[in-house]
Amino acid sequence: MWTEAVGVPDTATPGGQQPVEVSKEMTTTVTDLDDLRRRMTEWLGARVGAPVQVGELSRPTEGGMSSISLLFDATWAVDGVPTTHALVARMPPDATAFPVFPGYDLRGQYDVIAAVGAHSDVPLPPLYWLEESPDALGAPFIVMGRVDGRVPVDNPPYVFGGWFFDATADERLGLQEATLDVLARLHAIESPSVVFPALAERAGDDALRRHVDEQRAYYEWTRREDALRIPIIEETFAWLEQHWPADVGEPVLSWGDARIGNVIFDGFTPAAVLDWEMAAVAPREVDLAWYLYIHRFFQDLAEQFEQPGLPDVAHRSDVIAAYEKASGYTVRDFDWYVLYATLRYAIVMSQVTRRMIHFGEAQVPATPDDYVMFHPTMRAMIDGTYDWRKK
């Protein structure tokens, strides 16, 4: 889950010709990587039943706050031949860090990834092991294979520069359509209640209602200490209730954090789908609207500082058309789901703002709505004045 490039870009110059700097360093707890390397070596040796050499551990520079990833190479003998494996260990956030989310279900993620791999051709990183005990590294972790490729980065957002920004319009469109095709294939997994029983049990008989109720519970969790009420969030909840979709489609496996920044690409072809913390059973539009809105957030940020961004990416009509072509499904009530995606992101960002205040990286906002930097967008969506003509 991306949560880092959220600060107002202090070095931005509206009207400037160069991409602005919008990344923001976030305070994190420093972990002793040398000690983790020693402990990982012992743990891997016990797992493979042979001596193991573990190379230097590192953390990706553009990681978010919902998890910790450790990158490393490990060598052990396979059929008597020393073989090097490029690996990633994924861990929950440090227990001493200011939490952005209530919990982190590694077992749930592992089970979802394994089931997706068994029931679809969606590209995934290879799964190696799940360690649920904190004894080895101080926290549970998943070990996966590291997939070579490139990602449209979030920090700074890809709308300000990088390989995706520098690509041709046709290449960007091809990547978008390929990603939406992956989403359609993910949603095509049959009998999700059987394949993903834990998610289905959580969703109950009304997957959309349960999904929204969980977001409301998350909002209440964020305000458990300061009791702060954020009017734009609460007004959006009320609007969604008043305009509830009349015809909700059958629930499918929802990736939860569906966006190009969570895909590793080989050139412009998806090579691995990442980040399953927010997986659920939900209507298809939950993913599709999230895919659209996260790009809209980046693009609106670029336009705010009079930068071109990528206005040819994630047009509302293009996203719907590409998904409908790939899936054979007719998208319903899409504006409702886009506002819902905006609400979900607003709750996350309100907690990120609290986190920044906690670590002295931001001042207390002037008004409660300012805990959500894009609250004017939410207001425009509620009022029906958000301009979708070029979006």
- Comparing CA positions, the residue from 308, 307, 294 lying closest to residue 338 is 294
Catalytic residue flag (residue 257): yes
Contact 41, 56 (CB under 8 A): no
User: Tokens 């005990």 belong to which residue?
Assistant: 133
pLDDT per position as a tens digit, 66-110: 678 999 999 999 989 999 999 999 999 876 788 899 988 999 999
Looking at the chain, which residues constitute the CATH 3.30.200.20 domain(s)?
A: 33-96+99-145
pLDDT per position as a tens digit, 259-317: 999 999 999 999 999 999 999 999 999 999 999 999 999 999 999 999 999 999 999 99
Per-residue DSSP letters for 237-277? HHHHHHT--SSPPPPEEE-SS-SGGGEEEETTEEEEE---T
The pLDDT of residue 32: 84
Give the global pTM: 0.91
pLDDT per position as a tens digit, 196-223: 999 999 999 999 999 999 999 999 999 9
pLDDT per position as a tens digit, 5-40: 333 333 333 333 344 444 444 444 446 889 999 999
Looking at the chain, which residues constitute the CATH 3.90.1200.10 domain(s)?
A: 158-383
Cis peptide before 156 (omega within 30 of 0): yes
Contact 359, 98 (CB under 8 A): yes
Tell me the two tokens of residue 176. 């978008």
Give the torsion sign (CA, 182, 183, 188, 192): positive
Q: At the fourth CATH level, which superfamily is domain 158-383?
A: Aminoglycoside phosphotransferase (APH), C-terminal lobe (3.90.1200.10)
The pLDDT of residue 3: 40
Q: Which of 32, 148, 226, 257 is catalytic?
A: 257
The pLDDT of residue 6: 36
The pLDDT of residue 104: 87
Instruction: Report the C-alpha gap between 23 and 159 in whole angstroms.
Output: 12
Q: Does domain 33-96+99-145 have CATH number 1.10.3720.10?
A: no
Cross-sheet strand order for the sheet of 127-131: 53-54, 68-78, 81-91, 141-145, 127-131
